[in-house]
Amino acid sequence: MKFVHIADMHFDSPLTNLSDKGNLGEQRRIEQRRVFKKVIEYIKENKTELLFISGDLYEHKYIRKSTIEYINNLFKEIKDTKIFISPGNHDPFLKKSYYNDFNWSENVHIFGPQIERVELEDIDIYGFGFDDFYCTQSNIENVEIKNPEKINVLIIHGTLDGANLEERQYNSMNSKMLKDKGFDYIALGHIHKNNFEKNANIIYPGSTISLGFDELGNHGMIVGEINKNSNKIEFIKLDETEFVEFEIDCTEINSVEDLIEKINEINMEENKLYKIILLGKRNFEINIYDLYKYELNDRIIKIKNKTKPNYDIEKIAKENTLRGLFTKEILDEIKKKNYDEEIIEKALEIGMEVLE
């Protein structure tokens, strides 16, 4: 059976990390719609029977009814496709949510907080939806496949092998346990980077459209055909815009003018948005907000300063001065590892400026 698998659209997300750069946040919301239309057009053109949406379709706190109506009208255009939605932590199945209070197209099935099995002629679809912004117990470990001779699919939002307390708040599931269940395909959501491998059947498609610089690389959907013995799947890129990080070593740069020249020498591609990361030792004061005042390529969205002061602290610590005594104390604290390295480095920087 032909299927499309997407997750983490986050419709009506405020995109606060992008909104401080002109109207970029608004542009990305328009591009969200454009990408979602591509999904629907692909389904039409390929007569796809199943659409899996593994959570975070929209932002519960910000979603507008007009956006829900827009999504649902597109669902109506693929009335012969069965759509299965497993709500996640950003769009939970709350009593006062659009999943409960909206009249969805007849081809849409929304899973609630109890694991449910939907029987189709050749395939059984299992699913679970968050009913809150956190989920620590989905009960998925107790699920047993009822019809092992059929194709069996699980649609669920959550974290594989959650390693820390935060990850375990979002329906952490053991990957070995999931594999042992015997599902022919497990459609996951929550992690915004895809883990696509042709022979795998436990898949994160990643976010359908990149929402910022914490979501580098390609973004799109998983498509293919589910069979009882093997799956034929592929990743299709949908988002034409790619977020890219570019590093500049400032150790040999001696002025803000030289730095601006270095930034402007970067060969920037048309469909990419850039975050410039400044590294190495700095020989002059770098004020990020002042850098934005210069005429930079408009594809530069952010600049991050991760440089360190160009001090020879071992040499300064040997000085018979107040600055030397201060630096020696800092070196002692570094060796003891009593404080976070960044805090110590910042204390050194401030102290050196005062004692200059």
Question: Over the stretch 283-322, which tens digit does the pLDDT of each residue have?
Answer: 888 889 899 889 889 899 899 999 988 777 778 888 888 8
pLDDT for res 20: 60
Residue 325's pLDDT band, with cuts at 50, 70 and 90, is confident
Name residue 248's beta-bridge partners.
278
Amino acid identity for residue 108 in this structure: V
Rounded average pLDDT over 194-200: 90
Long-range contacts of 30-38 (CB under 8 A, 24+ apart): 31/209, 31/239, 31/240, 31/241, 32/208, 32/209, 33/70, 35/208, 35/209, 35/238, 35/239, 36/9, 36/11, 36/71, 36/74, 36/208, 37/74, 38/238
Residue 165's pLDDT band, with cuts at 50, 70 and 90, is confident
Least confident of 16-20, 26-30, 228-232: 16-20
Does residue 102 sit in helix, strand or coil? coil
pLDDT digits (tens, 9 = 90+) for 337-356: 766 767 777 777 777 767 76
pLDDT for res 19: 58
pLDDT for res 16: 74
pLDDT digits (tens, 9 = 90+) for 79-99: 999 999 999 999 999 999 999
Domain boundaries, the chain: 2-237, 243-355
Q: Which fold, 2-237?
A: Purple Acid Phosphatase; chain A, domain 2 (3.60.21)
pLDDT for res 356: 64
Rounded average pLDDT over 125-150: 95
Q: Is the whole model's pTM more than 0.75, yes or no? A: yes
Rounded average pLDDT over 202-216: 94
pLDDT of 198 > 80? The answer is: yes
pLDDT for res 142: 94
Q: What is the mean pLDDT of the chain?
A: 92
Rounded average pLDDT over 122-138: 95
Residue 331's pLDDT band, with cuts at 50, 70 and 90, is confident
State the Cα–Cα distance between residues 28 and 22, nearest whole angstrom: 12
Least confident of 15-24, 128-137, 232-241: 15-24
How far is the CA of 65 from the CAs of 47, 102, 188, in angstroms? Answer: 29, 9, 26
Backbone dihedral region of 217: left (phi > 0), alpha (psi from -120 to 50 degrees) or beta?
A: left
Backbone dihedral region of 263: left (phi > 0), alpha (psi from -120 to 50 degrees) or beta?
A: alpha
pLDDT of 246 > 80? The answer is: yes
Residue 25's pLDDT band, with cuts at 50, 70 and 90, is confident
